[in-house]
A = this chain, B = another copy of it.
């Protein structure tokens, strides 16, 4: 089964304590696709300007990302410039140029409308809502968001939440939208607005998945070298949704493993700049990382316990 992703396709310029990269592939839909395409076919909807190095997306197309929903508009592509200090959990935005992204209105191609899994990347909630009017009863719709929309589009965001099955956001955003500091309470509050599942991403501190009766947690993989955290959250979402699409069925077992696949793909994403590492890894690398996650957290229960 395939995953439809709607989000940004950008050019990132990033500086970390370990190096810098200029105008490399970035954006939520790009990271999501590079990650999810390890597990299932991906259909991407987004926009780039006429300055975008489209040929650099060719490796994505070769691995099953359908780019026919990538619009080319007249103008400059979305650009983000950011920096990380030693605390790689905190990105400092230096500049953002929306370019053609500021007039983006997602148009879902006919052949994408029946995608069973839909991921609404972090864009204006009004556009996320527009996507929902163009898709045909998907099995699962997930959305991401960010502080900017929580502040500026709260009513629309709450309307969106009432219409999606799953929300992914980071700990700060969960606190901001719910106005609750405790993450369990924040997740319960968000669920009370509609979504049956809430995933709270804590960056290097792992991710919680809350549902009505269950809580699952997966740590971030303890890497000796975290090179560039940009895109980790979208790569997580890609691994999560891609794994669910591969399974086809949404069960508690599959959801838990999907969180682990998400964490595994996130852990690859941060090993190099941009989507470089995500393009390199092979199925056996993914399987080995998932096994390593199992080893990292598993313990045997005692018979008497």
A residues with a Cβ closer than 8 A to B are 86-87, 181-185, 188, 202, 205-206, 208, 214-219, 222-226, 253, 256-257, 259-260, 287, 290-291, 294-302, 304-305
Q: How far is the CA of A290 from the CA of B304 in the complex (A)?
A: 11
Task: Flag if A217 contacts B222 (CB, 8 Å).
Answer: yes
In the complex formed, the residue of B with least CB distance to A290 is B305
In the complex formed, the residue of B with least CB distance to A214 is B295
Shortest distance between the CB of A209 and any CB in chain B (Å)? 10
Q: How far is the CA of A295 from the CA of B213 in the complex (A)?
A: 11
The 14 listed contacts between A and B (C-beta, < 8 Å) are A86-B181, A182-B225, A184-B223, A184-B224, A185-B224, A202-B205, A214-B295, A217-B297, A219-B219, A256-B300, A259-B299, A260-B299, A291-B301, A291-B305
- Answer whether A296 and B206 are a contact pair too, CB < 8 Å, given A184-B222, A305-B291: no
Please tell me which one of the listed residues B224, B253, B296, B302 contacts residue A257 in the complex, with CB atoms under 8 A apart.
B302
- In the bound complex, residues from chain B placing their C-beta under 8 Å from that of A184 are 222-224
Task: Flag if B181 contacts A208 (CB, 8 Å).
Answer: no
- In the bound complex, residues from chain B placing their C-beta under 8 Å from that of A257 are 299-300, 302
Shortest distance between the CB of A182 and any CB in chain B (Å)? 6
Please tell me which one of the listed residues B205, B215, B302 contacts residue A296 in the complex, with CB atoms under 8 A apart.
B215
- In the bound complex, residues from chain B placing their C-beta under 8 Å from that of A295 are 214
In the complex formed, the residue of B with least CB distance to A288 is B305
Q: How far is the CA of A218 from the CA of B297 in the complex (A)?
A: 6
Please tell me which one of the listed residues B202, B215, B296 contacts residue A217 in the complex, with CB atoms under 8 A apart.
B296
Shortest distance between the CB of A8 and any CB in chain B (Å)? 29
- In the bound complex, residues from chain B placing their C-beta under 8 Å from that of A226 are 182
